[in-house]
């Protein structure tokens, strides 16, 4: 099995439960959900003319839609060659759940790594049992995809981007009647760090004992 990789890099996780944890990000190409505020819109389309070599993909100095095809073994070898030391691997996109990630997860876990997937919850999750699932539910997006109940029930963390009260109300409607894990972490993440959204998220998190996710990497100006 091979994967279309937009980029692989080592940095700090900037969002959610693992904020501040050294992490290897594997960004997969392709996403049909169409979130208007998405900061990785270059990962949406999978075009054959954008396929490049692994060396070219890794040499990119800016965000582009270029991707390279890699196997699980290729990814492990690249991590070793680059000398990455992080043991936390974040599989993101795009929409990573478009791919069957079980083989990749098993190979990485065999190397002593912990996996996290960041997904919109709109595709069936084909992952290892040990993968930490972060569902960032995307509601009423242009792509018309629905958030799946099986994704919500598997979620270890639900991280919801908000700008206004209506976004919190929409999350409440989504979660009503859902069977969630008893220890699921619910995070509110202000869209684009807008002051009003941040104030609303802080207020709601305090009232409900939820968690604030502030996209630390954007404040630090790191990838």
Annotated binding site for substrate: 12-14, 27, 92
Could you give the CA distance from residue 26 to residue 93 in angstroms, rounded to a whole number?
8
Please list the residues that pair with 12 across neighbouring strands. Answer: 22
Task: Please tell me the distance from the alpha carbon of residue 132 to that of residue 118, in angstroms, as a whole number.
Answer: 9
Degrees to nearest 5, angle at CA 9 with 42 and 29: 30
Q: Is the dihedral of CA 207, 210, 215, 217 positive or negative?
A: positive
Q: Which residues are annotated as a binding site for Mg(2+)?
A: 40
For the annotated binding site for S-adenosyl-L-methionine, the residues are 37-39, 94, 136-138
- Whether 36 and 52 have beta carbons less than 8 Å apart is answered as no
Spatial separation of the C-alpha atoms in residues 17 and 110, rounded to whole Å: 23
Binding-site entries? 12-14, 27, 31, 35, 37-40, 92, 94, 136-138
């Amino acid at each position: 099995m091979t994967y279309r990789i937009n980029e692989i890099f080592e940095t700090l996780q900037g969002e959610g439960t693992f904020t501040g944890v050294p992490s290897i990000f594997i960004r997969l190409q392709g996403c049909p959900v169409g979130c208007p505020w998405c900061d990785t819109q270059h990962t949406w389309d999978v075009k054959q003319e954008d396929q490049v070599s692994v060396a070219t993909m890794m040499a990119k100095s800016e965000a582009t839609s270029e991707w390279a095809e890699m196997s699980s073994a290729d990814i492990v070898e690249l991590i070793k060659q680059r000398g990455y030391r992080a043991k936390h691997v974040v599989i993101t996109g795009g929409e990573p759940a478009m791919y069957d990630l079980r083989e990749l997860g098993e190979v990485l876990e065999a190397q002593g790594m912990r996996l996290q997937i960041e997904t919109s919850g709109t595709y069936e999750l084909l992952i290892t049992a040990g993968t930490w699932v972060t569902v960032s539910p995307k509601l009423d997006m242009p792509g018309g995809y629905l958030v799946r109940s099986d994704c919500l029930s598997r979620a270890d963390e639900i991280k919801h981007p908000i700008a206004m009260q209506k976004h919190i109300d929409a999350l409440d409607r989504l979660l009503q009647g859902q069977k969630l894990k008893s220890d699921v972490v619910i995070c509110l993440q202000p869209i684009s760090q807008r002051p009003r959204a941040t104030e609303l998220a802080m207020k709601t998190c305090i009232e409900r004992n939820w968690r604030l996710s502030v996209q630390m990497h954007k404040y630090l100006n790191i990838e």
